[in-house]
Chains A and B, each alone.
Chain A
Amino acid sequence: MQRSAVEDLRRRVERLAAPRRGREALPFGIEEIDRALPGGGLAVGALHEVAGGGDGAVHGAAAALFAAGVAARTRGKVLWCFTRADLFAPSLTQVGLSAARVIYVECGDDKTVLACFEEGLRHQGLGAVVAEVARLSMTASRRLQLAAETSGAIGIAIRRWRRQTEAADFGQPTAAVTRWRVTALPSAPLPVPGVGRARWQLELIRCRAGESADFVVEACDAKGRLHIPADVADRLLAPQARLATA
């Protein structure tokens, strides 16, 4: 009874909200994550924010690969805007984003990054547009969100600060549809000495029309897909399975 009332309200709110073109989403292919996102995946034609946790707020390595993994699963070219040119292109190829698809734009300051980001989002025919910025105001993010809605490209803002103390800025509200934080976790233990497959703590901090959640995942594979680690998967899916059979 109560559930249907909530559903009813949700539908009314959706109808009131500005009609958006194409409500498609790009699924992660992991049921657990897709279930937490309205539409069953990362909304296409929308702005998303990603930041690294801990030291990652400064170097943003995991955040960049997470964004690259998403971009790899889209169609068409990808635009990548930044001010610090320290991205190492071979690593993007290793998560499935081939070098021929990515166009890099090296900007002098954050303002230019945002301008180029918006220009890319307005352009029809790009699969994804990624920008590395420190500050993202409400006004700027709303412009970007509207631009993304017109073209249907996925916009990913990698929030990357100069100092870790500035990362408190990530608490400020923006118009982005989802907000993620990716933190490196110790890799999967191997029976022999060596570094196993990288693991991330993936936090969905904010999600429009959804609830926040966090996951432990194995980093992008050669096609840009995340995986749930086998040991964690057993633990998490077991109660669901019980519910389903009951």
Chain B
Amino acid sequence: MNFTLTQRLRIAGVLIAFGLLIEAGTLLWNSPIGFLVFLGIGGLFIACGILIYLLTLISAPAEHSASSVLASKKSVVISS
């Protein structure tokens, strides 16, 4: 599946926000299970979100340059 840069940022943001909400819930839960949910579920969502964001950062320049090359080719074709 191809996502645009904006979509990837949105997915990352939603995952992180969801993970943070889980974290906020576990802070009210004084139990070992609360800690496991914090780390295992909340942490997983946040880690996935951060990973997607970092991958977006890495891939963004390449995508940007590719699209600009494509745009310049189109302009060449139009002008000719």
Same assembly: no
Q: Which residues of A contact B (CB under 8 A)?
A: none
Q: Which residues of B contact A (CB under 8 A)?
A: none
